[in-house]
Structure 1
Amino acid sequence: MELRHLRYFLAVAEELHFGRAAERLHIDQSPLSRTIKELEGQLGAPLFVRTTRSTRLTRAGKLFLRHVPRVFSALEQACASVHAAAAGYHGELRIALSDGISPERFSFLVMLCRQEDPQVAIHFDEVSLTQQIKGLHDDCYDVGFAQSAEVGDGILTSLAWSDPLRVVIPVRHPLLEHARVPLKELLRYPLVLGDASACEGYNHQIGRVLRTVDIEPVVAERMLSFDLMLALVSAGFALMLAGESQIATSRQSNIVTRPLAGRTPMLATYLLRPDVDASPELERFVARVAALEAETGEVSSGTHDHDDIDQ
């Protein structure tokens, strides 16, 4: 079995169309079909059911698809490790990022890593929360950041940082008459939330806040990134809830923020890592995150009356 077989299989499995897969691979459809037949012969099972109208995975094909992406991920990581060693690095950290975490906080953390551990190569991968959890179990990542602590057995979680939750409002909106926005007033207007897969932890925390009142929110749109969510608010399309540091780096000029009325909820970001012995590089990284949270936590506790959303 060659990598070519796996690459061709993955293209067909994702496209579920031999013609589109061939175009994506920049090859003719005939060699693609032959390669898939070779692979099925080596595995001793059909991977696809192909008719004149559709292509779908067999049960064996679905099982095979669970594992093939990890082969390419492992290969990419192996290449990155070799490149890091060739560049003079003496260790590495593989970090997964989910839920559109605060660029301001994360940028400062990476800057500290570069200053205090310059010999450690750092690799980043933006993935969904589900992919991050699976990758931590499969040794694809050493550590990750997400906005959920509900990650199951085998994964350790700790608070990385938390931000006061803010209502993001377009300029000249009626809600701006409130210095602190009542949640019931907020829910009179459409909201933009995160995509269900890309922002799973964020949506979970925001959902807990919205469920404190007996009003069903009107969701105008679900977006993959916070930049797009903020752009929709700036355009007057909807309102949103976001952490203070998430908004701080926004370049949108037509938005205003307000706190919610009552006690200020906090949007929590968690550090996730496998429940196994940590490398020295990871131990130093975890300690650095804990020190950063202790420092920022003292500032937050002195300036905000709050509840953590996901505690």
Structure 2
Amino acid sequence: MELRHLRCFVAVAEELHFARAAERLHIEQSPLSRTIKELEEDLGEQLFVRTSRSTRLTRAGKLFLEHVPRIFTALEQARDSVKAAANGFHGQLRIALSDGITPSRLPTLLALCRQEEPEVEIRLFEVPLSQQIKGLHDDLYDVGFAQSDEVGDGIAVEPIWSDPLMVAVPARHPLLKHKRIPLDEVLRYPLVLCDPQVCEGHARQVERVLRRAEQEPMIAERVASCDLMMALVSAGFALGLAGAPHIVSSRESGVVARPLAGRSPMLTTYLLHREAETSEVLARFIERVQAIESAKGVKPVLPPEPDQEEIEP
């Protein structure tokens, strides 16, 4: 089995059309068909069911497709490691980020890593939670950040950062008469929330808060980032629910942060890594993460509020 077999397989599996796959690979269709046949003979399994009208993956083909991208990722990481060594780095730390990481902490953490261990190359990967968990098991990542502790066996989970869940409110909105907004009042208006397919852990924590109320939320939009959420809130499209640092870091001037009434719900960020013995580089990294939280010790500064006379009754 060669890399060309895998590249051809992925192209056909994604296109489900041999002619389009051949065009994508800049080869003729007949050599593409021969390559797929060679791969199937090597595996001893049929990967595609091909008729005059359609091409579809067999069960074996679907299973094979789950593994092939990780092969390419591992090869890419090996190539990058060689380049890093040539550039003077003597170690590498692969960090997966899911659900977004609080923006106020990431620059501080990376700067501290660069200052204390400049010889260690830091590589960041923004991936969905399910992909992070698979990558940790497959040794594609050394450590990860996510807003979920539901990660299954073999992964160590440690709560590291907590931030209040806030309501992002458009300026001049009637809810701004509340210093702390009751959840029932929030649910009277449309909401823009993070897409659970992209921010699975974040969405789970928000969903738990929304279930406290008897009323069903009106979901106006699901978005892939807090930046887009803040843009829609600023435009008056809907209310948003996000961690305080994400609202503070937003560049949208028309967004005001308000806490929920009662005991403020918290969004927790977890550090994930394999349960096997950690390397010295990873152990020192975890110490830095913990040190940042210990040194934080202050509440986030909320965005400035509009003058009260500008708020609609």
Query: Counterpart of 1:129?
Result: 129
Cα pair 2:196 2:204 within 8 Å, conserved: no
Where structure 1 has 5 or more consecutive residues not aligned to the other structure, the ranges are 302-311
Cα pair 1:104 1:248 within 8 Å, conserved: no
Cα pair 2:196 2:202 within 8 Å, conserved: no
Superposed displacement of residue 176, structure 1: 1.5
Query: Counterpart of 2:4?
Result: 4
What is the alpha-carbon root mean square deviation over aligned residues?
1.6
Q: Which has the larger displacement, 15-24 or 252-261? A: 15-24
- Answering whether residue 256 of structure 2 is matched by residue 256 of structure 1, we say yes
Superposed displacement of residue 147, structure 1: 0.4
Where structure 2 has 5 or more consecutive residues not aligned to the other structure, the ranges are 301-313
Q: Which amino acid aligns with 2:30?
A: S
> 4+ runs of 1 displaced by more than 4 Å?
none
Identity, % of aligned pairs? 67
Query: Counterpart of 1:117?
Result: 117
- Answering whether residue 86 of structure 2 is matched by residue 86 of structure 1, we say yes
Aligned length in residues: 300
Query: Counterpart of 2:281?
Result: 281
Superposed displacement of residue 248, structure 1: 2.2
Cα pair 1:146 1:269 within 8 Å, conserved: yes
Query: Counterpart of 2:59?
Result: 59
Pick the structure with greater CA Rg.
2
Residue by residue over 1:196-241, the C-alpha shift from the partner in whole angstroms, topping out at 9 and shown as x without a partner, is 2210000000001101111111111111222122222122222111
Q: Which amino acid aligns with 1:58?
A: T
Cα pair 2:105 2:292 within 8 Å, conserved: no
Q: Which amino acid aligns with 1:299?
A: V
Instruction: Classify the secondary structure of the residue corresponding to 1:135.
Output: helix
Seen in structure 2, the aligned counterparts of structure 1 residues 167 and 26 have a Cα distance that, compared at 3 Å, is farther
Q: Which has the larger displacement, 125-134 or 235-244? A: 235-244
Query: Counterpart of 1:239?
Result: 239
Distance 2:53 2:224 in 1: 32
Q: Which amino acid aligns with 2:290?
A: A
Instruction: Classify the secondary structure of the residue corresponding to 2:180.
Output: coil
Superposed displacement of residue 20, structure 1: 3.5
Cα pair 1:105 1:245 within 8 Å, conserved: no
Distance 1:95 1:254 in 2: 33
Residue by residue over 1:108-152, the C-alpha shift from the partner in whole angstroms, topping out at 9 and shown as x without a partner, is 111111111111101111111001011111111100000001111
Query: Counterpart of 1:186?
Result: 186
Cα pair 1:227 1:250 within 8 Å, conserved: yes
TM-score by length of 1: 0.92
Query: Counterpart of 1:307?
Result: none
Distance 1:192 1:145 in 2: 23
Distance 1:182 1:17 in 2: 54
Distance 2:247 2:212 in 1: 24
Q: Which amino acid aligns with 2:34?
A: R
Superposed displacement of residue 300, structure 1: 4.8
Q: Which has the larger displacement, 34-43 or 259-268? A: 34-43
TM-score by length of 2: 0.91
Instruction: Classify the secondary structure of the residue corresponding to 1:60.
Output: helix
Distance 1:20 1:88 in 2: 43
Query: Counterpart of 1:101?
Result: 101
Query: Counterpart of 1:139?
Result: 139
Q: Which amino acid aligns with 2:6?
A: L
